[in-house]
C-alpha cells in the first residue's frame, strides 16, 4: 500500500450516511420535503459542498442551514456531520416526542452505489417503536394504579 502525502490522498469512495429522522415541516411542494432532505444529504456526501448539494435538490444554501438550526433537526444535523466526515457527538437520549415520531414515521436512509447517491429507503426504527410502546405501557399502568387508589379512597369515604 502506498503512503500518499496528505494533499494527494483520495477520500473514501464509500460514504456512510446514517439513517435520520426528517425534520417535521408543514407540507409544501417547493419546501424541504422528507425526500428532498434525504436527497440533500446524499448529494452532500457526494459533493462535500453545501452549496452544490442544495442546488442539486433545488433549494438555497441559506435554507439548508436554517433547516439544520431548527430545534427538531438534531438527527438531520448528525447525518449532515456524518456526510461531511466530521466526528459525531456521543449518542444522545431522545425526547418522548422525537421517539414517537421515529416510531411512527421511521427513518430515511440514503443509499450510494460507487460513490454516487442512488436513492433513499424508509426504514422502521424498531428500537424507538419498542421504547415508545414500553412508555405507553408504563403510563397505562400508572393510570390504572391511580384510578384504583382513588376508587379505594372513595369506597372508604375519605
pLDDT at residue 77 greater than cutoff 80: yes
Strand partners, 109: 121
Predicted local distance difference test score (pLDDT) of residue 53: 93
CA-to-CA separations, 12 to 99, 102, 149, in angstroms, rounded: 33, 30, 62
- Gap between the Cα atoms of 88 and 96, Å rounded: 22
Percent of the chain with pLDDT over 70: 84
Backbone dihedral angles phi then psi of residue 114, each to the nearest 5 degrees: 55, 45
* pTM (two decimals): 0.57
pLDDT at residue 52 greater than cutoff 90: yes
pLDDT in tens, 119-156: 878 887 777 778 878 888 888 888 888 888 888 888 88
pLDDT band of residue 63 (cuts 50, 70, 90) is very high
Amino acid at each position: 500500500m502506498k503512503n500518499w502525502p496528505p494533499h494527494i490522498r483520495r477520500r473514501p469512495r464509500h460514504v456512510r450516511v446514517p439513517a435520520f429522522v426528517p425534520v417535521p415541516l408543514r407540507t409544501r411542494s417547493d419546501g424541504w420535503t422528507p425526500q428532498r432532505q434525504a436527497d440533500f444529504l446524499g448529494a452532500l456526501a457526494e459533493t462535500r459542498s453545501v452549496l452544490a448539494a442544495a442546488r442539486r435538490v433545488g433549494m438555497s444554501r441559506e435554507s439548508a442551514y436554517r433547516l439544520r438550526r431548527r430545534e427538531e433537526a438534531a438527527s438531520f444535523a448528525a447525518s449532515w456531520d456524518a456526510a461531511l466526515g466530521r466526528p459525531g457527538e456521543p449518542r444522545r437520549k431522545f425526547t418522548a416526542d422525537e421517539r414517537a415520531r421515529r416510531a411512527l414515521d421511521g427513518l430515511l436512509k440514503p443509499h450510494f452505489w460507487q460513490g454516487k447517491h442512488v436513492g433513499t429507503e424508509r426504514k422502521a426504527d424498531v428500537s424507538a417503536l419498542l421504547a415508545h410502546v414500553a412508555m405507553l405501557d408504563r403510563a397505562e399502568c400508572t393510570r390504572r394504579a391511580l384510578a384504583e387508589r382513588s376508587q379505594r379512597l372513595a369506597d372508604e369515604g375519605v
